Amino acid sequence: MIRLVRFELFKMVHRPRTYLCLGLMVVLVALIFWGLKTEGENAVKYVFQALEKNFIIQGNMLNGYFVTFIILNTLWIHVPVLIVIVTGDLFSSELESGTIRLVLTRPVSRNQVALSKFLAALIFVFVFLLFWGLISLWPSLVLFGKGDLIVVFNGLQILEEKELLWRFVSAFGFAFLGMGSFAIFSVAVSFFTRKSLVTILISLGILVISTLVQTFSSSLFHGWQSFLITYHLAQWQLFFYTDIDWPGIQQSVCWLLGFSAVCIVASLIRFNRIKITE
């Protein structure tokens, strides 16, 4: 099993698209840094000008924690796109090239082969999010300094600096669960489509549809939110409530774990029924 996972990771390391995704993340984060460094102060003053009538605001509002929060809000929907480009064809590419037949000549079960692909996808997601966190939080603190975090969503949230590090670590940990679930879904789709391009398009299509339905959930699709993967992916924001909504977080954790389990079980059943000679 460990050798199979190593084999999958070896393939990822030697694929240009893996480094392309990491490079695109660097570019996106760098552009946000550049924009906030040049016009960030004016933008922050514009956003918080209404608060100055009722509150006395002192200190550096445009600090590293605020910038990292902006990056998370800006890119949380883009990260799954980059992840699925790498994980979406872990199985289908082997089926198309015929290498899966060679793998199954080894003394391993189909379940082990399938599970190794899911584990490799999760390892990639972990490394990707760790990389994202390092290039977001640490440079933000160096470039913009430290301070309390003031954000406006679901009311005004004011968080002290001493609480922020563990909140960001928790948010990235939750993001790993969410992005890992989406990576598992993309791998599962490949077991059914057997085509790399179709797998990527279906995965991204589900992401787009889920985002659109969530956008109009308050008016057209009321009550649909709890069934949408993008809704649960965005629940990392709950860690930045003054009083954290732990029941909401637990609900999303259970949903994502259940969703992942269904995808894995369905994939194992499908893979054991596939005739690879076809």
222-231 CB contacts, 8 Å cutoff, 24+ apart: 226/251, 226/255, 229/181, 229/182, 229/185, 229/259, 230/77
b vs e for 184-221, b when ≥16 Cβ sit within 10 Å of the residue's Cβ?
A: bbbbbbbbbbbbbebbbebbbebbeebbebbeebeeee
Residue 260: per-residue pLDDT: 94
156 phi, psi to nearest 5 deg = -95, 125
- 37-81: pLDDT as tens digits: 777 666 565 455 555 555 555 556 678 888 888 888 877 778 888
Q: What are the average pLDDT values for consecutive 10-residue runs of the chain, which has 278 residues?
A: 80 84 89 80 56 54 82 82 86 72 74 89 92 87 82 73 87 91 91 83 89 74 76 87 87 94 92 72
Residue 51: per-residue pLDDT: 53
Q: How far is CA 38 from each of CA 33, 143, 198, rounded to the nearest angstrom? A: 9, 12, 41
Q: DSSP label at 238?
A: G
